[in-house]
Amino acid sequence: MTRGQKKGRKKIVEQNLLGLLLVAGFFSCFGGDTGRRIVLSETVPFYSLETSGQYGFKAFHTMAEFPQDSESSEDDIIGIDDVTYQPELESVPIGKDFTLDNLSEDVLQQLENFDYLKSKFYLVDARTQLRPEDMNVREYLQKDFTLDYSMKGPKVLLMHTHSMEGFLDSGDTVVDMKEGIWGAGEYLKELLEKKYGIEVLHDTGRYDMVDGKGQRIGAYERMEGPIAKILEENPSIQVVIDLHRDGLPENIHLVTQVNGKPCARVMFFNGLCRLAENGVGTDIPDLKNPYIKDNLAFSLQMKVALNSKYPDFTRKTYLNAYRYSLHMKPRSLLIEVGSQMNTKEEAWNAMEPLAEALAEILK
């Protein structure tokens, strides 16, 4: 980053007593000076020593207030979906209109510098740790993600763990999913199918609703069974994309111009299944994801492909401690599209470069 970060101490205020007890018990993991200010009001799956059910974690609702008189710069802010806003893109000078097949040796060597890659491409949450052995850049960028068309049926599953996420001018997403992130996903499906010939199954599950009411707590656990069933019933599916909308302070507008259109900026999101404490990273024993390196390779290829053509379109890739929905397939992506301050038009427009990059990597 080109701006110096201001130091700030995290203040976490839990909405319920159980959350307070959890944070008190795990303060050594989540407290301390991270150099960023937390503004959480979304569901974050916090790992618990008391494992819950088959998947070994529980989800709790957390929220911390954003100080009204804060003088913090925008790049100090972690969004309410537990992601950090970075207004400045420091992309690698890879040249316009390159493809993943013709990366120069100089660029590959630059990207193989772990400190360089980490600082330019990633935001690593204080709760986790990225290690040099996690990032075999040459292998990741040369990994073949081409789809296998030998089996008939959909190749991509598009889902939304948080289906109610809406935009600045969205209508009621409880009544009509098309008004929010699901609607953006429907346009992505249309582009992939009609323009690029990639068949998509768009899931209509409402995992952030219980008894007809919004309930983000436990959404990642609720999506697990239905999504696993979809994948079992559709063995042709090779890609799972969990499409989200980030939440940020209202003075931040994540927008850029792509092909003359205003587009919401996007961010890729990876879970490492690893908690960091006192500088030591420990893999979470009951939170397994055998596809972490595949996930990292897929999101890195997507980011590099988009940076080459639309350098302001992507934010830094965010790395957190948990696994979210990324353990369903090797080719799994979690993508944040803009924030609640973007319009539907900006979000829909963002699907066009996103579809283009997906087709480049998958076709």
Residue 70 shares a structural domain with residue 104: no
Domain final position from 78, 108, 134: 78
Domain final position from 78, 111, 131: 78
Residue 203 shares a structural domain with residue 61: no
Residue 139 shares a structural domain with residue 51: no
Is residue 214 domain-resident?
yes
pLDDT at 17: 37
pLDDT at 66: 28
Residue 25 shares a structural domain with residue 161: no
pLDDT at 107: 83
> Once rounded to an integer, what is the mean pLDDT over residues 181-203?
98
Residue 141 shares a structural domain with residue 200: yes
Is residue 84 domain-resident?
no
Residue 144 shares a structural domain with residue 44: no
Closest CA to 128 of 45, 43, 242, 19: 45
pTM value surpassing 0.85: no
Count up the domains in the chain and report the number: 2
Confidence of residue 97 (pLDDT cuts 50, 70, 90): low
C-alpha–C-alpha distance, residues 357 and 240, integer Å: 15
Residue 139 shares a structural domain with residue 282: yes
pLDDT of 3 over the 60 cut: no
Residue 219 shares a structural domain with residue 290: yes
Is residue 28 domain-resident?
yes
C-alpha–C-alpha distance, residues 134 and 273, integer Å: 12
pLDDT at 99: 64
Residue 138 shares a structural domain with residue 274: yes
Beta carbons of 191 and 355 less than 8 angstroms apart: yes
Is residue 228 domain-resident?
yes
Is residue 170 domain-resident?
yes
138: domain CATH number is: 3.40.630.40
pLDDT at 18: 41
Domain enclosing residue 34, as ranges: 13-78
Residue 29 shares a structural domain with residue 104: no
pLDDT at 104: 82
Beta carbons of 22 and 46 less than 8 angstroms apart: yes
Is residue 211 domain-resident?
yes
Reported as type and span, the H/E element at residue 13 is: strand 13-14
pLDDT at 92: 55
